[in-house]
Amino acid sequence: MISEWQNHKKQLRQYISKRLDDASAIDDILQDVYLKASSKRHQLKSTDSLLNWLYRISHNAIMDYYRQRKTYEALPDNLAAQQENKDSHARQELAQCLVPLIKELPEKYAIALQLSELEGMPQQAIAQQLGLSLSGAKSRVQRSRVKFREHLLRCCDFEVGQEGVNACVPKDARSPHKC
């Protein structure tokens, strides 16, 4: 193995040096390649494919080097709280925009939708507050959502992409529907 290694060592060094930006790591990787090749010699099918096999081991060693070297910035401890605050603020802004549209629905649907979607009230609590059965409250909330969606589609054209709604444009400012 040593004589074969000596025959290919120069080629492997050039191969590794072209792929690394750290000259001091070339010899370390070359040594790793030799150790892996020596310990896995039994996996080599024929000596005709030795050079290709050594190149594959070299390539894998280079990839391992870059994976280990990858640096990561420490994430702030309050990152999750920051994201929650942003999400909460966005929901509040959206809710302020939707309240006038929800109020245009018939009262029984507007109340159910506001309690469910804007106040986040569980449907069991909605049922108790409105004097409905649980299944009645669920149906009311579902019909409210359908009516609200129909109202929005009458008023606006939506552009939808992979992230959700990209744009909302009123269809006609002169429309009899408030949008």
pLDDT greater than 90 at residue 135: yes
* DSSP result, 48-102: GGHHHHHHHHHHHHHHHHHHHH---PPPPTTHHHHHHHHHHHHHHHHHHHHHHHH
Q: Tokens at residue 86, please? A: 């942003």
Give the C-alpha separation, 4 to 51, whole Å.
Answer: 9
**pLDDT value of residue 163:** 75
Whole-number average pLDDT of the chain = 81
Question: Which is more confident, 42 or 26?
Answer: 26
Give the C-alpha separation, 72 to 46, whole Å.
Answer: 42
Whether 84-170 and 2-69 are alike in CATH topology: the answer is no
Which residue ranges make up each domain of the chain? 2-69, 84-170
Count how many Cα atoms sit within 13 Å of the Cα of residue 142 in the half-sphere of its side chain: 6
pLDDT greater than 60 at residue 175: no
Interval 83-129: pLDDT, tens: 666 666 666 776 677 788 888 889 999 999 989 988 889 999 999 99
pLDDT greater than 70 at residue 146: yes
Percent of the chain with pLDDT strictly greater than 90: 23
Whether residue 73 contacts residue 37, with contact meaning beta carbons closer than 8 Å, is answered with: no
For 2-69, CATH number out of 1.10.490.10, 1.10.1740.10, 2.40.50.140, 2.60.40.1120 equals 1.10.1740.10
Average pLDDT over residues 57-67: 90
Note the CATH architecture for domain 84-170: Orthogonal Bundle (1.10)
